[in-house]
Structure 1
Amino acid sequence: MASPNKIRMPEASAIKGRGAASQVVGRFEKTVSRGEDDGWGSLYAEDDTDPIQPVQTEVRIERARTIISRNQSPDVGFSQSVNPYRGCEHGCVYCFARPSHAYLDLSPGLDFETKLSAKTNAAERLRDELAKPGYQPHPIALGINTDGWQPIEREHRISRQCLELLLETRHPLSIVTKASLIVRDIDLLAELARHDLVHVMVSVTTLDNRLSSKLEPRAAAPHTRLKNIRLLREAGVPVGALLAPIIPMITDAEIEHILEAVHEAGAMGAGHILLRLPHELKEVWREWLHLHYPERAAHVMSLIQQMRGGKDYDSRFGKRMQGEGPFAQLITQRFRKAYARLGFCGMPPLDDSHFTPPRKITPQGELF
């Protein structure tokens, strides 16, 4: 009998509202179990007429010990980040962060988008770390391995608490999101913007609603993201667009159209990243590709490998974001020409000169 929250099917098939179609085994698993049908039809269901139950989202409360993650990667635009959650209910099948779930002994497949953790003390830990003697302020990327404004943020409000603290301390930050919920916090973002403390990059992968519903099933629809760009810009928030990932033979034909749409909506700048397939993500991606585009799956993977030195992925700094080879160069040239033709003004610099360390909260409270 199938266990709860498992899809009962002999082979993977697309699941409505989910990006991944199965529980891809994590690279740290010591044992792997696999069911084998004995021919009596009893492995996946006792009754063939019984409907398959959808996979439900589970949220675990986590008490973080530290909250700022630091990196020295030369090809990313930040040196420190804060992730209010683990996993992401948006279910973007291409998400480079999926393999991080393997560290939790969870699947980078369905588990990544259905078994989530909420770091409910994130703002408290962030206050402690910003208050440390000698702390040097550098822009914090709020939400990188997860979207800080994914659906569960409505209940937990962790990202908003972090915004409130960063505004209080005049600490600069950047945000990448594809969530409609980001406009809930326009009041805080507008105030941060008045002090040159925030950038918001809205991720726009495609303008095709049907494709978006397959690639990123629980994220905001493309037209909603364009609307969010417009609303943020009208509120005075520096906002740009991130074309990520660009996928050969799936989304690459839209590069110019997306840039035109986000520019018209008010985006000040834009960037692009080629599809990345680290670790288990290559299995999640191949499965999705064969389910949704079987007729072009081989061609898509051939182009990806041409841009990755003959492999599914090349993790070298300077190569992992943009790839190499003629097709990767063509994508970059098309992006640059369209960007220059449209005349994006560019994002303004962030200001870290007014940072004021917070006071640690003590049992005595504020006496003076």
Structure 2
Amino acid sequence: MTTDPGKRPGLAPAFPRAERQPQHPHPQHLEAGTPLRQMPMHGRRGRGALSNQSGRFEKLAYAPVDDGWDNLEDLPPLRSCVTAESPRKILTRNTSPDIPFDRSINPYRGCEHGCVYCFARPTHAYMGLSPGLDFESRLFAKPNAAQLLEKELRAKNYSCQPIAIGTNTDPYQPIEREFRIMRQVLEVLEAYNHPVSIVTKSALVTRDIDILSAMAKRGLAKVAVSVTTLDAKLARAMEPRASTPSKRMAALEMLSAAGIPTAVMIAPVIPALNDHELEKIMTGAALAGVKAANYILLRLPLEISDLFKEWLEENAPDKAKHVLSVLRQMRGGKDYDAEWGKRMRGEGPFAWMLKRRFEIAARKHGLTRPRFELDCSQFKPPPQQGEQLSFF
């Protein structure tokens, strides 16, 4: 990970908008008559995506070509580069009718977990970077997130509603161990008695049990842990730098034991690949003390469709056609349907069967607790220096 002398360790200096540069000669630069071979997809050790295709806004698209000079079998590990980002605001608003929150915080842009299916990958194209390997290796941190949040919460026209964290990229991804931005954000929320809901697939969330349990006692915090599979081998291939399934289950148990309202999020459900684990995951969550569950069907918007297909052909070639066939039957014949009310669960017979299986398992294991409602009535900015404390 890069460092910049005189600045916070681990944060590289901001770099300009990336101009995509080919790692191999562009076809038009090769001598006429030179036979071209498409480079096989080997990926990088510890990374989810197999390629670094250009984003949809780039004028040029580069394809890696095997010119016979490189050893493609032993590619070096891809190092992560973290850049400081200084946004003007930290709260993001949304009006989507099928999302149960209207504001969120993302302490980081990009995610080192490297989940190949991550629906947030296309956002990296706005930075002139690839939704592929760039998304999981060229990361952006927002070190002033807590200060920005405090400023926005003190605004006279601010109206309190629960803030969702972890909706786009994971706030507890590996680089959080060093930067601790998420913990700083939680400290602000606790001081302001502001409710928060968190989604993560990292056991690092247990580091902040002290803050979360104190907030939970006042009805101000809840946590959902995403569990995609209990198969360690599949998890390592599909979400290489996320916590192992066993550690996530242990995190659920620790959070629940600390009195924090917890839920298991089975996401994404990938038909013919991990959907058979639905009941098993819910059984494990119930044994961990969890009282609520939810699931989301695999979503493949924009560049993710090609990235996931590459991964599927490399890691599950015997299942690839069947997985995509069933998925398309749940998506109206397409790889993805973004229509509200359908994008999270799909439609058709397979979607109905998945929904019924989930409902039956939820009733069996007592995972039917209604959505835990956070308390917004306690919100109050603490007095600033020089202000008189209130007696009321």
TM-score range, shorter chain: over 0.9
Look up the equivalent residue of 1:293 and give its one-letter code.
A
Matched, 1:275 2:298: yes
Look up the equivalent residue of 2:211 and give its one-letter code.
L
Could you tell me how far 1:70 is from its partner in structure 2?
0.6
Aligned match of 2:55 = 26
Distance verdict in 2 for CA 1:278–1:301, change over 3 Å? same
Look up the equivalent residue of 1:96 and give its one-letter code.
F
Could you tell me how far 1:257 is from its partner in structure 2?
0.6
Look up the equivalent residue of 1:357 and give its one-letter code.
P
Distance verdict in 2 for CA 1:34–1:14, change over 3 Å? closer
Aligned match of 1:95 = 118
Residue pair 2:54, 2:130 contacting (<8 A) in 1 also: yes
Aligned match of 2:35 = none
Q: What SS does structure 1 have at the residue aligned with 2:266?
A: strand
1:12 paired residue among 41, 45, 51: 41
> After superposition, where does 1:305-320 map in structure 2 within 5 Å?
305-320=328-343
Aligned match of 2:282 = 259
Look up the equivalent residue of 2:380 and give its one-letter code.
T
Aligned match of 1:182 = 205
Mapped to 1, the partners of 2:181 and 2:326 lie a distance apart of: 40
- The number of residues matched between the two structures is 354
Matched, 1:304 2:304: no
Mapped to 1, the partners of 2:303 and 2:372 lie a distance apart of: 37
Q: What SS does structure 2 have at the residue aligned with 1:244?
A: strand
Matched, 1:327 2:342: no
Residue pair 1:207, 1:222 contacting (<8 A) in 2 also: yes
Aligned match of 2:315 = 292
Aligned match of 2:269 = 246
Distance verdict in 2 for CA 1:49–1:261, change over 3 Å? closer
Could you tell me how far 1:357 is from its partner in structure 2?
2.6
Could you tell me how far 1:268 is from its partner in structure 2?
1.5
Aligned match of 1:220 = 243
Could you tell me how far 1:348 is from its partner in structure 2?
3.0
Q: What SS does structure 1 have at the residue aligned with 2:224?
A: strand
Per-residue CA deviations over 1:304-327 (Å, capped at 9, x if unaligned) read: 110100000000000000000101
- Once the two structures are overlaid, the 10-residue window that deviates more, 336-345 or 134-143, is 336-345
Look up the equivalent residue of 1:355 and give its one-letter code.
F
2:228 paired residue among 191, 202, 205: 205
Mapped to 1, the partners of 2:184 and 2:261 lie a distance apart of: 21
- Once the two structures are overlaid, the 10-residue window that deviates more, 342-351 or 267-276, is 342-351
Mapped to 2, the partners of 1:165 and 1:224 lie a distance apart of: 28
Q: What SS does structure 1 have at the residue aligned with 2:335?
A: coil
Aligned match of 2:192 = 169
Look up the equivalent residue of 2:240 and give its one-letter code.
P
Could you tell me how far 1:10 is from its partner in structure 2?
2.0
Distance verdict in 2 for CA 1:99–1:192, change over 3 Å? same
Mapped to 1, the partners of 2:93 and 2:299 lie a distance apart of: 21
Mapped to 2, the partners of 1:316 and 1:53 lie a distance apart of: 41
Distance verdict in 2 for CA 1:36–1:274, change over 3 Å? closer
2:173 paired residue among 150, 153, 163: 150
Mapped to 2, the partners of 1:71 and 1:103 lie a distance apart of: 18
Mapped to 1, the partners of 2:196 and 2:246 lie a distance apart of: 26
Per-residue CA deviations over 1:223-274 (Å, capped at 9, x if unaligned) read: 1111101111111111110000000011100111111100110111000000
Look up the equivalent residue of 1:305 and give its one-letter code.
R
Residue pair 1:307, 1:324 contacting (<8 A) in 2 also: yes
Q: What SS does structure 2 have at the residue aligned with 1:263?
A: helix
Mapped to 2, the partners of 1:78 and 1:205 lie a distance apart of: 23
Residue pair 1:131, 1:358 contacting (<8 A) in 2 also: no
Distance verdict in 2 for CA 1:177–1:35, change over 3 Å? closer
Residue pair 1:202, 1:229 contacting (<8 A) in 2 also: yes
Mapped to 2, the partners of 1:319 and 1:51 lie a distance apart of: 42
Mapped to 1, the partners of 2:345 and 2:73 lie a distance apart of: 47
Distance verdict in 2 for CA 1:355–1:177, change over 3 Å? same
Per-residue CA deviations over 1:282-309 (Å, capped at 9, x if unaligned) read: 0110000000011111111111110100
Look up the equivalent residue of 1:56 and give its one-letter code.
R
Mapped to 1, the partners of 2:171 and 2:220 lie a distance apart of: 18
Could you tell me how far 1:54 is from its partner in structure 2?
1.2
Mapped to 1, the partners of 2:382 and 2:152 lie a distance apart of: 9
Look up the equivalent residue of 2:373 and give its one-letter code.
P
Matched, 1:350 2:374: yes
Aligned match of 1:53 = 76
Q: Looking at both structures, which has the greater relative contact order when contacts are Cα pairs under 8 Å and sequence separation is at least 6?
A: 1
Could you tell me how far 1:367 is from its partner in structure 2?
6.8
Structure 1: which 5+ residue stretches go unaligned?
none
Structure 2: which 5+ residue stretches go unaligned?
1-20, 25-37
Distance verdict in 2 for CA 1:102–1:263, change over 3 Å? same
Residue pair 1:255, 1:335 contacting (<8 A) in 2 also: yes
Could you tell me how far 1:33 is from its partner in structure 2?
2.9
* RMSD (CA atoms): 1.9
Could you tell me how far 1:53 is from its partner in structure 2?
1.3
Question: TM-score of the superposition, structure 1-length normalised?
Answer: 0.92
